[in-house]
Amino acid sequence: MRRTEWQRWSGILFAVPWLLQFVFFIIIPFGGSFYLSLTDYRFRGAPRFIGLENYLDLFTDDSVFIRSIVNTIYYTVVHVPGVMIISFFIAILLNQNVRGMALFRTLFYLPSVTAGVATAMLWLVILQPNGLLNQGLGLVGIPGPRWLTSTAFAMPGLIIMSFWTVGTTMILYLAGLQGIPQHLYEAAAIDGAGHVRRMWHVTVPMMTPTIFLTLVLNIIGSFQVFIAALIVTSGGPANSTLFVLLYLYRKAFLTFQMGYASAIAWILFVIILIFTLMQFVIARRWVYYEYEEAE
């Protein structure tokens, strides 16, 4: 066998393990879940094909599902900008050249590697009526609300809790900031630009690829929020924190409506896909890539 042929076949052989797991653990489950979404299946007996009935019921006869979509979008609209703004300014502070900066970066990132259940249990204590958050508000004369038992404050409580893990986004911003050429700041300073103008005209444009990446990742993640709602509020009170993924879990593993749950999963997949594609289309208008100008 000639050398070029061996190189081609060796590449295929090395790719076979990945291809097998891709087919058996992604493609086949994808197809299976779509088929189940077209059936009435409750673990016992064979699935009964019912066509699009599950999808029709979700949008025409299931107000709880509609409520879960509204809750998820509400969470996304507030959570994503909050995480991105907070992590951006933390990254700017952590990009300074001062003593002990490695320690500060580690401390800000550590909460992001904490297990989701452990974080939820911690915030379950913090958000109690006599918890640390209300005690802190009381020090400045603000009566703390009942975060976990009020329909008005349960969702804001979960959003505040979500800011605990800004470290992952912060690390991405920090990497992007350190990749900005210093000569751009020097040129802007020579032209008389102050800190604000350098931030707006140099830092932000050069950071748009990283901002776009974190925007896509955070929106996808916010549509998949599950552990916090399950542990802290269980979707309550009065379904005010019931997210789509939590509703899917209830239908699949509490009432064993696997076909119905599969339909919810596919609707969630389509929603995330639409939002992601919209971002890629809009990104052409505001995301700046340095190599484009060079071309």
DSSP 208-247: HHHHHHHHHHHHHHHTT--HHIIIIITT-STTTT--HHHH
Task: Name the one residue in this structure whose structure tokens are 């809750």.
Answer: 71
Sorted by where each begins, the domain ranges of the chain are 59-294
- How much is the pTM? 0.89
Which positions ≥6 away from 284 have C-beta within 8 Å?
none
Residue with tokens 């776009």: 212
The DSSP element (H or E) to which 184 belongs, if any, is: helix 182-190
Residue 198 CB contacts under 8 Å (≥ 6 apart), including other chains: 185, 188, 189
In degrees, rounded to 5, the angle at the alpha carbon of residue 187 between the alpha carbons of residues 185 and 189 is 70
Coil/strand/helix, residue 196: helix
- Three-class secondary structure of residue 43 per DSSP: coil
Question: Which residues touch 172 (CB under 8 Å, ≥6 apart)?
Answer: 210, 213, 214
pLDDT tens for each residue of the chain, 295 residues long: 566 677 778 878 888 999 999 999 999 999 999 999 999 998 888 899 999 999 999 999 999 999 999 999 999 999 999 999 999 999 999 998 888 888 999 999 988 888 788 888 989 999 998 989 999 999 988 888 999 989 999 999 999 999 998 999 999 999 999 988 888 888 888 888 888 888 888 889 999 999 999 999 999 999 999 998 999 999 989 999 999 999 999 999 999 999 999 999 999 999 999 999 999 999 988 998 765 554 4
Architecture of domain 59-294: Orthogonal Bundle (1.10)
Amino acid at 235: G
